[in-house]
């Protein structure tokens, strides 16, 4: 027996989505995420790691996503791209240029990865295949995303290596990953991400384990490519100093929630959330006399360990009774500046 599907009346969920994403005076964001939740379920235990993430990335902007390890920064984008595996339970809405992509699976989602949204992972040594030459791996990406093969693909791979400023690019095409330095392998990863000419590049801790000089070069390269190509950049980092170098806007994450969002300058000048203030206090100030850095006591709570109230309350010097039973919501403390704190500091 075949079922008869009635497409005349949209479901209540579809009607709600249409209302939420109705056209407005402001340009639609490139990527818009609403209510993103992620939990990992092994059949016995269910561990929630994201608790309703709302964020958007605008065309051509650089968005910084900052927080300690374990706050959910990488998981957010892995969930968007469907890379979390079978045990992940993902819900929420994700739109790319206004089109819903949260329900896409298989080949439909694969056409988004790399082509529309590309991701640079933090460890190029594990992301690159050690048994294949750099040129072969670049050509595979070009074949997948742009249909280039043979000499056309190799010529474009050479142009990509030149674009990310790898010296002796022609010789590097025939090199293996182990023959290149960490900084060079990271440039190869950037080149692979650019192979599909993406609208959004997600850079997940792209300067981890690199020395300060190479780190600065990689950040400058990402910023230059973004400005030249017009693509958007989502830069994931635990380092506010890195974010300040590149980003227009910043979102601070803690324990699976966004706790503060603002333009970059406003966040550094007037941090409103105690967690953000703690992160800034832990940064060395080279313009002032040497002093001991202020560390945030404790650590990020394990997934599932916080059942009620503010997840930062045990580490917060401003906590009050309400923090133990009220989950704070985003509150505007200034135009374009929001914080999720019952005692948001303006």
Residues 39 and 202 sit within 8 Å (Cβ to Cβ): no
Residue 266 to residue 290: CA distance in whole angstroms: 25
Per-residue pLDDT tens digits for 82-125: 999 889 999 999 999 999 999 898 889 988 999 999 999 888 87
Helix (H) or strand (E) holding 237: strand 232-237
Contact 69, 254 (CB under 8 A): no
Cβ contact 226:43 at 8 Å: no
pLDDT-above-90 percentage for the chain: 64
Mean pLDDT of 34-62: 93
More confident residue, 213 or 81: 81
SS (H, E, C) 12-64: HHHHHHHHHCCCCCCCCCCEEEEEEEEEEECCCCEEEEEEEEEEEECCCCEEE
Task: Give the model's pLDDT for residue 295.
Answer: 84
What average pLDDT score do residues 231-249 get? 91
Separation in Å, CA 285 to CA 240, 246, 263, 264, 281: 13, 19, 21, 18, 9
Q: What is the pLDDT of residue 45?
A: 87
Confidence class of residue 307 from pLDDT cuts 50, 70 and 90?
low
**For the segment 117-148, what is each residue's pLDDT rounded down to a tens digit?**
999 988 887 889 999 999 999 999 999 999 99
Query: Could you give the CA distance from residue 67 to residue 239 in angstroms, rounded to a whole number?
Result: 8
For the chain, state the CA radius of gyration.
22
- Higher pLDDT, residue 101 or 212: 101
- Read off the pLDDT band of 2 (50, 70, 90): very low
pLDDT of residue 132: 95
Average pLDDT of the residues of the chain? 87
Q: Is 277 helix (H, G, I), strand (E, B) or coil?
A: helix
Whether 31 and 95 have beta carbons less than 8 Å apart is answered as yes
Three-state secondary structure call for residue 112: coil
Give the pLDDT of residue 22. 46
């Amino acid at each position: 027996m075949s079922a008869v599907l009635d497409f005349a009346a949209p479901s209540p969920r579809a009607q709600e989505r249409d209302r939420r994403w109705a056209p407005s005076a402001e340009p639609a964001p490139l990527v818009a995420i609403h209510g993103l939740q992620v939990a990992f379920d092994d059949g016995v235990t269910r561990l929630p790691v994201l608790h309703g993430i709302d964020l958007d990335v605008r065309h051509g902007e650089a968005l910084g996503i900052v927080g300690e390890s374990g706050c959910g920064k990488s998981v957010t984008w892995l969930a968007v791209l469907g890379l979390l595996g079978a045990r992940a339970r993902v819900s929420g809405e994700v739109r790319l240029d206004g089109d819903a992509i949260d329900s896409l699976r298989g080949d439909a989602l694969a056409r988004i990865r790399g082509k529309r949204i590309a991701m640079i992972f933090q460890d190029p040594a594990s992301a690159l295949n050690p048994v294949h030459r750099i040129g072969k791996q670049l050509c595979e990406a070009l074949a997948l995303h742009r249909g280039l093969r043979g000499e056309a693909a190799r010529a474009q791979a050479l142009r990509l290596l030149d674009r990310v400023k790898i010296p002796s690019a022609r010789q590097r095409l025939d090199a293996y990953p182990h023959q290149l330095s960490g900084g060079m392998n990271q440039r190869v990863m950037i080149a692979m991400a650019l192979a599909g000419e993406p609208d959004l590049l997600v850079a997940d801790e792209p300067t981890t384990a690199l020395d300060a000089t190479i780190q600065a070069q990689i950040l400058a390269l990402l910023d230059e490519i973004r400005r030249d190509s017009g693509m958007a950049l989502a830069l994931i980092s635990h380092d506010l100093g890195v974010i300040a170098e590149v980003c227009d806007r910043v979102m601070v994450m803690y324990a699976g929630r966004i706790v503060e969002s603002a333009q970059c300058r406003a966040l550094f000048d007037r941090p409103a959330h105690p967690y953000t203030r703690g992160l800034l206090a832990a940064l060395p100030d080279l313009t002032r006399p040497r002093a001991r850095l202020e560390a945030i006591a404790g650590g990020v709570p394990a997934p599932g360990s916080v059942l009620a109230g503010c997840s930062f309350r045990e580490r917060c010097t401003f906590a009050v009774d309400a923090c133990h039973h009220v989950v704070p919501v985003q509150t505007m403390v200034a135009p374009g500046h929001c914080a999720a704190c019952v005692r948001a500091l303006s």
